[in-house]
Homo-oligomer: A and B are copies of this chain.
């Protein structure tokens, strides 16, 4: 019996009953398809919806019983839904249920399959057997200028067949585990080199998304990939230690490691090729009081920042915290309006706007202020001006305060002092109380690079180690030491090489390069060589005829040596140094990996032809060319892009695009899964607001 609680009394009662094939004609009003499904639809519109739905059960038939009543049943027209559409509805409802059922079954199957897979991932039996370890690995010889242990062999050199095969291959030592070294390690083919990675950090950090981790939008571990995962694939070795010096003549890298009791130990690592990808350190710009600031270089910085933010919020909630103190605690100052500073300000603002109000007293929301102090006239000043403007408008909408043309003088524990140029040219000294200060104002050279630069006379750049266009450290023995990433800068000294560009020509003509007359066809030849050696100059060598005409000042139809030098010097001046970005480091790393793979392939051929001197790099692989793929920045539920010459900014959809790009660039399947999980977590549960 179906209860008809809300049906009008005295009108109709329906009793479901399995009927024989031929039911009583008056009761069974219509048969659906050829099957045995029938329903009475008289008075259907007076029945409650749940009941009407229940009428649809296949196999049930309903007969209608009339009872005497004071008010006779009103004459109601025939079924409101036409028969064909009804059967179609039933049909689609049925299909919908089937679809849902199948979905549940397949999902369930996948879950079961996952559990079975999970079951197989537990290793039950402890396997211990004798491991062959070389005596030299356990007791290394001593030597070198400082008579330190020299590590020729490692304890895991014989761990597998593949590692044993690599034991005596050329030693490739890689310093650092950042955006330069890790892409290189990922592209390197196993089997060609005996690879050792030395770094104080045992993880690769996906820095572009680090600001997101500071406020709990992403988890710390979603941005890092253990370096041992990566090193394992090329059967390499990893040493968690710090490089301190290089003996170029003996090809020894001096390393400092910290032992169990904090005791420092030094040793030498021999190399055949050394790749320096040690990155940079924060630039203090000579400002005092940076001990009161946070930095944002590594994942531990992000942890400290998150803790400090939550701590400030909690203290602001204490009943004994005075009003002014609360405002100070909730004043977040970011010194530096570059991508890091801007993205951090944006993430911080998002968190405060979206999650804070849910859990903290509302008064906090009103007393929070976020300030960005920028030394230039715009934030994101390396981007297109329209994008800077877009970001500034966005921040103005969000009440994020931007102080431009401002230079920080000093940071104190509770305030930051800065000078600002007014529009009339006067300089004012201002101060801002702060409860939190982030210092993100560019990079400078770290200690190891300073040591190297001091050793080599040819190194004159104060900010980074200079390399040639094959990324070889200028001044070091050729082909031994490479520098990539923030630690390096690629020389743009086209004009210095004018003699070398002319040498072949001069040799062909039997002339002294410096006294040659260069015709237009000679010039085309020289330009080709310039392009191949300095790929960055290609853009400036498009109109060869115009250049030739312009610099042929005496209109002699040929350039002399001084005219050519002047031409190349002009090109030099137009070449900017490459940006210190993850993108550049990544491209340099991948370039090196490809070159090393080629070198290894070419090795036997070179040995056969007894080629072991000269510019082997040049002979084997092209020079490094930087291709700018674009920039992007997150600016608080909006993002700006600069890609392939197109600049645009937008709201949430742009944020999804911003995420997709980084998702695709993320280092491994593991980090991609974790990123997806994190974004889902944020949507479902908000950001984490805990400190410990």
B-binding residues in A (CB < 8 A): 99-100, 102-103, 105-107, 114-115, 117-119, 121-124, 126-131, 133, 137-138, 140, 149, 151, 154-156, 159, 201-203, 219-221, 224, 226, 228-229, 232, 238-241, 257-261, 265, 267, 298-300, 303, 310, 312, 314-315, 317-321, 323, 325, 328-329, 350, 353-354, 357-363, 365-366, 397-399, 413-414, 435, 637, 651-652, 655-656, 669-670, 673-674, 677, 679-685, 688-692
Contact = CB atoms under 8 A, between A and B. Distances in A.
Contacts of A325: 259-260
A319 B365 contact: no
Contacts of A321: 259-260
A329 B690 contact: no
Contact of A354 (B122, B129, B691): B122
Contact of A683 (B117, B126, B155, B360): B117
Nearest to A137: B319
A674 B303 CA distance: 19
Contact of A260 (B239, B315, B685): B315
Nearest to A680: B114
Contacts of A115: 656
A396 to B, nearest CB: 11
Given A126-B353, A138-B323, A299-B692, A366 B241 contact: no
Given A155-B363, A359-B229, A265 B126 contact: no
A681 to B, nearest CB: 7
A221 B219 contact: yes
A124 to B, nearest CB: 6
Contacts of A203: 690, 692
Contacts of A329: 260
A229 B690 CA distance: 11
A689 B689 CA distance: 25
Closest 9 CB pairs between A and B? A156-B361, A228-B359, A118-B683, A240-B314, A151-B319, A103-B106, A670-B685, A265-B320, A203-B690
A306 to B, nearest CB: 11
B692 A300 contact: yes
A159 B314 contact: no
Nearest to A115: B656
Contact of A688 (B226, B353, B651): B226
A323 B413 CA distance: 47
Most chain B C-beta atoms within 10 Å of own C-beta, residue among A202, A232, A674: A202
Contacts of A656: 115
B637 A124 contact: yes
Contacts of A435: 260
Given A240-B314, A318-B241, A679 B118 contact: yes
Which of A239, A300, A303 has the most CB atoms of chain B within a 10 A radius of its CB?
A239
21 contacts: A100-B106, A122-B350, A126-B353, A126-B398, A127-B357, A128-B365, A129-B366, A137-B319, A138-B323, A149-B319, A155-B363, A201-B692, A202-B314, A226-B689, A258-B315, A260-B328, A260-B329, A267-B319, A267-B320, A303-B692, A670-B685
Number of identical protomers? 2
Contacts of A156: 360-363
B131 A239 contact: no
Contact of A119 (B232, B260, B361, B652): B652
A323 B137 CA distance: 11
A142 to B, nearest CB: 11
A24 to B, nearest CB: 30
Contacts of A680: 114, 118
A87 to B, nearest CB: 17
Given A122-B652, A298-B692, 17 more contacts: A121-B682, A123-B353, A126-B399, A128-B366, A133-B363, A156-B363, A202-B310, A202-B690, A202-B691, A203-B690, A219-B221, A221-B690, A240-B317, A257-B318, A260-B435, A261-B414, A300-B692
Contacts of A363: 131, 133, 155-156
Given A156-B363, A689-B228, A692-B299, A140 B260 contact: no
Given A122-B652, A128-B366, A359-B226, A681 B689 contact: no
B232 A359 contact: yes
A117 to B, nearest CB: 6
A615 to B, nearest CB: 34
A129 B357 CA distance: 13
A121 B398 contact: no
Q: In this complex, which of A261, A320, A414 has the most chain B Cβ atoms within 10 angstroms of its Cβ?
A: A320
Contacts of A99: 102, 105-106
A397 B124 CA distance: 10
Contacts of A300: 692
B317 A239 contact: yes
Contacts of A673: 681, 684-685
A33 B641 CA distance: 57
Contacts of A689: 202, 226, 228
A681 B669 CA distance: 11
A690 B224 contact: yes
A315 to B, nearest CB: 5
A121 B655 CA distance: 13
A140 B322 CA distance: 11
B361 A318 contact: no
Contacts of A688: 221, 226
A4 B124 CA distance: 49
Contacts of A310: 202
Contacts of A151: 319-320
Contacts of A126: 353, 397-399
A679 B238 CA distance: 28
Contacts of A258: 315
B362 A159 contact: yes
A209 to B, nearest CB: 16
A224 B261 CA distance: 33
A315 B118 contact: no
Contacts of A260: 312, 315, 321, 325, 328-329, 414, 435
Given A219-B221, A637-B124, A690-B221, A155 B319 contact: yes
A355 to B, nearest CB: 9
Nearest to A691: B202
